[in-house]
Structure 1
Amino acid sequence: MAGLLLAGGYSRRMGRDKAGMIYHGRDQLHHAFDLLQSLTTACYVAIREDQLAEDHRSTLPCLLDIAGVAGPAAGLLAAQRRHPEASWLLLACDMPLMDRSTLQALLLAAKVDQQAAVIAYAAADGRIEPMCSLWRPASKVCLQREATTSRNGLRHIAEQLRIRLLQAAEPERLVNANTPDESAAILSRLQ
């Protein structure tokens, strides 16, 4: 089991790098990386090539997003190419309320359901929340096929695979901080 922290986004809605936001007394990039690393045998951060020289990213093992592929699929595809035999525990760096038990539930479900290519949580709207999920090697062919199309979102790709959908014990753990208002609400909650 390998871990992949998605941190290659542009953070346009936030107006600043979401990976550098401080929620737990340190930047979210390192906080989320340590969380993933504690549950996996290898852990990487998926980034864009232009982020390689950034101080806080360069301190961690990084994988470069696949060129010509947009969004989180670029990072997952890079990970699957690097270690094609690995299952990948995926986490977006903009989920500051994520905790160990929420990630462990994905790992437990993977032990129970050996056939699912993707194990993910149901979002509040009942759809797949792909930003906290587990992707097995069986997902690779579909990911490669769809990655360069206009429908390369991880949700769309997961919907084409055998998926095990979980209900989060604490749904608030899946909340993303994409805007300054969302970040402020999370900071208020953490105080």
Structure 2
Amino acid sequence: MQNLLGVILCGGESKRMGTDKGLIQQDGKTWAQIVANKIPALGLPVVISINDRQVEDYGRIFSSDHLVVDNVDINGPLRGLLTVHQSFPQSDILLLACDLIDMDTDTIQNLISVAKADENYEFYVYENHGLAEPFCAIYTSKGLKSVYDKALQHGLTQNSFQSVLANGKTKRIVLNNPDPFRNYNTMPGHHKF
């Protein structure tokens, strides 16, 4: 966990929301900025994972050296994570989705503490009612190298985070408070959990 990098995942298609979630404004900041601003308080560098259609919009908000544009040839949100891994192969990644605007630093810090206390796993994730919460999780460089190599050889049976976590050596942490994990697929006030 010496090379932990914060990554805000913004490259999704936001089909259910109908608009780019990371660009939604709240209190004068975009959701991507709100989530990204949680990382420096933990003493970590941060990058923003986007797709090629988002470069112009996100370039107005973040400096270009903080943007990592998808270029791994797989579909789905795993594409963003593996692209960041390709760009920073020595880094372990603390991944946060851009719509986790209710995430708190205590929840993130607990995740980091668990990972530092037991470095024998590839992935560290909270579990809520038997399902992993993949969008506030730590993915080690070792674990990502294995997934990336499989992706390059078209050896991934599914391009999903749940599949990666189920097939890797994953430390699951019981989630006592699900509130920070609210993700918004409709506008706030009309959200689905």
TM-score using structure 1 length: 0.87
Counterpart residue type for residue 3 of structure 1: G
The residue aligned with 2:94 is 89
State the SS of the aligned residue for 2:38.
helix
Candidates 43, 52, 63, aligned match of 1:49: 52
The number of residue pairs the alignment matches comes to 183
- CA displacement, residues 127-174 of structure 1 (integer Å, 9 cap, x when unaligned): 111111001112123321147546011111111111111123421111
Counterpart residue type for residue 72 of structure 1: P
Task: Specify every segment of 5 or more residues in structure 2 that has no aligned partner in the other structure, as ranges.
Answer: none
TM-score using structure 2 length: 0.86
Distance 1:172 1:94 in 2: 13
Q: 2:72·2:82 contact (CA, 8 Å) conserved in 1?
A: no
Alpha-carbon RMSD: 2.0
State the SS of the aligned residue for 2:89.
coil
Q: 2:100·2:182 contact (CA, 8 Å) conserved in 1?
A: yes
Task: Specify every segment of 5 or more residues in structure 1 that has no aligned partner in the other structure, as ranges.
Answer: 187-191
Q: 2:123·2:139 contact (CA, 8 Å) conserved in 1?
A: yes
Q: 1:23·1:96 contact (CA, 8 Å) conserved in 2?
A: no
Percent identity of equivalent pairs: 25
* Runs of 4+, deviation exceeding 6 Å: none
Q: 1:142·1:157 contact (CA, 8 Å) conserved in 2?
A: no
Distance 1:73 1:11 in 2: 15
Distance 1:156 1:112 in 2: 25
- Confirm or deny that 1:152 pairs with 2:159: yes
Distance 2:60 2:13 in 1: 14
User: Deviation of residue 40 (structure 1)?
Assistant: 4.5
Distance 1:24 1:71 in 2: 30
Question: Larger helix proportion, structure 1 or 2?
Answer: 1
Structure 1 residues 174 and 57, CA gap change in structure 2 (3 angstroms): farther
Kindly report which structure 2 residues correspond to 1:28-67, keeping only aligned pairs within 5 A, or say none. Answer: 28-55=31-58, 58-60=61-63, 61-67=66-72
Q: Which moved more, 1:91-100 or 1:58-67?
A: 58-67
The residue aligned with 2:83 is 78
Q: 1:88·1:135 contact (CA, 8 Å) conserved in 2?
A: yes
Q: 2:39·2:45 contact (CA, 8 Å) conserved in 1?
A: no
